[in-house]
Amino acid sequence: MSNQSIQPDAACCLVEPLVREPLDAPTAADMAARFKALADPVRLQLLSSVASHAGGEACVCDISAGVEVSQPTISHHLKVLRDAGLLTSQRRASWVYYAVVPEALNALSTLLSVHADAATAVEASA
Question: Fold for domain 24-125?
Answer: Arc Repressor Mutant, subunit A (1.10.10)
**Domain boundaries of the chain, sorted by first residue:** 24-125
The length of the chain is 126
Angle 3-8-9 (CA atoms, 0-180°, nearest 5)?
140
Angstrom distance (rounded) from CA 82 to CA 97:
12
**Side chain identity at residue 120, one-letter code:** T
Reading the chain (126 residues) residue by residue, the pLDDT tens digits are 555 555 555 555 555 555 567 888 998 899 999 999 999 999 999 999 999 998 889 998 888 888 899 999 999 999 999 999 999 999 999 999 999 999 998 888 888 875 544 555 556 666
pTM above 0.75, yes or no: no
